[in-house]
Amino acid sequence: MKKRKTNEQVVKSIMAFSRRGALIQPFVITALEKYSRMVVEAHQKGELRGGAFGFIDADAWADCGQEILEKLEQNGYAAKKE
């Protein structure tokens, strides 16, 4: 049985070894931004009932989204949303 890669290995593989080359990188960054905004906004509206798979605390899941947005914004990859 093939050993399963870690999450970090999978993300690195996606970012570094795409059949589309470097085009994959802005795709992944955009996906991170969009999903993170969706989670944070749903949480602010009280619509987030559970994080991933329904058993992760919604506050913790939304905070993960907020952290990603902050890091993207700090590095110029996302505009700060008012």
Q: What is the pLDDT of residues 26-65, one digit of tens each?
A: 999 999 999 999 999 999 999 988 766 678 899 999 999 9
Q: Under 8 Å CB-to-CB from 59, ≥6 apart: which residues?
A: 43
Judge whether residue 16 has pLDDT over 90: yes
Task: State residue 82's pLDDT score.
Answer: 62
Percent of the chain scoring above 70 in pLDDT? 95
Mean pLDDT of the chain: 92
* CA angle (57, 62, 66) in 5-degree steps: 150
Kindly report the pTM of this predicted structure. 0.86
Spell out the alpha helix ranges (H) of the chain: 7-16, 24-44, 58-74
